[in-house]
Structure 1
Amino acid sequence: MNRGLLVALVSAVVVLAVGVAGLAVYVWRFPPGSIAVGGAAVALGQPAVEKAYYEMDKFVTNLADTDRLRYIQFSVALGLVSQNAKETAQEAEPQVRDVVLSHVRVLTSKDLNGAGGKERLAQAIKEGLDAILPGHVTRVYITDMVIQ
């Protein structure tokens, strides 16, 4: 056999073996159907397991009611994918508070009334936070809410 052909064949086998080993490590570290967030694999299409929580100070703001002036006082806790995500949320607290208040001020007391009011508020806040903390927030918890 030609020496050049033999060297090319051995080189191709080595490159292929390294590629297969790299793919195996990647699939083991990040299973199919997951994404990497903060150095950890998070499954897509499944509820993420919360590794950290960040309880924010109380919020007080006015609502968008036009018949009379109404206020809401509420507390928010963020369910986060990792301890690293908690640090990121703490560093971005002014932006987080702005997003939360922006989403609440456009709601009326009727929007927040009933069994689903709290859930609608939490979902609206989460959608807003996904823009500034993509992949970090798994759920928003409204831990306290009073409307006057």
Structure 2
Amino acid sequence: MSAQSPATAPATGSKLPWIIVAALLLVVAGGAGWWFMKGRIAPVEQAAADTPAASIRKPAQYYLFEPAFVVNLADTDAVRYLQADIQVMTRDPETVKALELHDPAIRNRLLLLLGQQSAHQLAQRSAKERLQERAKAEVVAVLRAEQAPDKVEAVFFTSLVTQ
């Protein structure tokens, strides 16, 4: 039996190759994971980048036309009146300023619109809703004619009394 010297003994316990293999596997796995997640996250990030910052919903602001509107209704069988409190909703501060500035012209158009109604029409909910849409269109038309901000979302009747 020949005894081997420690210098010529085979390196059966060397861990260096295993450490190198493990490190390479970690790098490859990390790269693959990064590539996979980038492919999944990128569309979400792109969609967020495509969404304009203006789409963040601002709080509603209301503009009340004062005093209340009072008009003769278009009824032919009797003299009837309508009293209405009207508010305009917007989320744009510049539109609120435009409503204040052009209040007289808007009031005129709304008075003309309200005076075309009859008590029979105003008794029906669907007619009131159509009137709201027409009132909104009148408000927007005045603002556009004045080249003012016109981001009006709705017109509300906060009081509507016929007599």
Q: Same fold (TM over 0.5)?
A: yes
Q: Choose the corresponding residue for 2:137, options 127, 134, 137.
A: 127
Q: Does 2:157 correspond to 1:142?
A: yes
Percent identity between the two aligned chains: 29
- The alpha carbon displacement at 1:81 in A equals 2.9
> What's the Cα RMSD here?
2.5
2: distance between equivalents of 1:93 and 1:128? 12
Q: 1:92 to 1:30 in 2, by over 3 A?
A: farther
Match of 2:120 among 110, 128, 137: 110
The letter of the residue matching 2:81 is Y
Structure 1 unaligned regions, length at least 5:
1-27, 32-39
Q: 1:120 and 1:54, CA in 2 relative to 1: closer, same or farther beyond 3 A?
A: same
For 1:55 and 1:29, the matched residues in 2 are separated by: 36
Superposition TM-score, scaled by structure 2 size: 0.59
Instruction: Tell me the equivalent position of 1:65.
Output: 75
Q: Say if 2:101 is the partner of 1:91.
A: yes
Structure in which a larger fraction of residues adopt strand: 1
Equivalent-residue separation in structure 2 for 1:50 and 1:121 (angstroms): 25
In the aligned structure 2, how far is the partner of 1:104 from the partner of 1:79? Answer: 19
Q: 1:133 to 1:110 in 2, by over 3 A?
A: same
Q: How many residues align?
A: 110
* Compared CA separation, residues 138 and 72, structure 1 to 2 (3 A): same
Q: Per residue, is there more helix in 1 or in 2?
A: 2
Residue equivalent to 1:34:
none
- Using structure 1 for the length normalisation, give the TM-score: 0.65
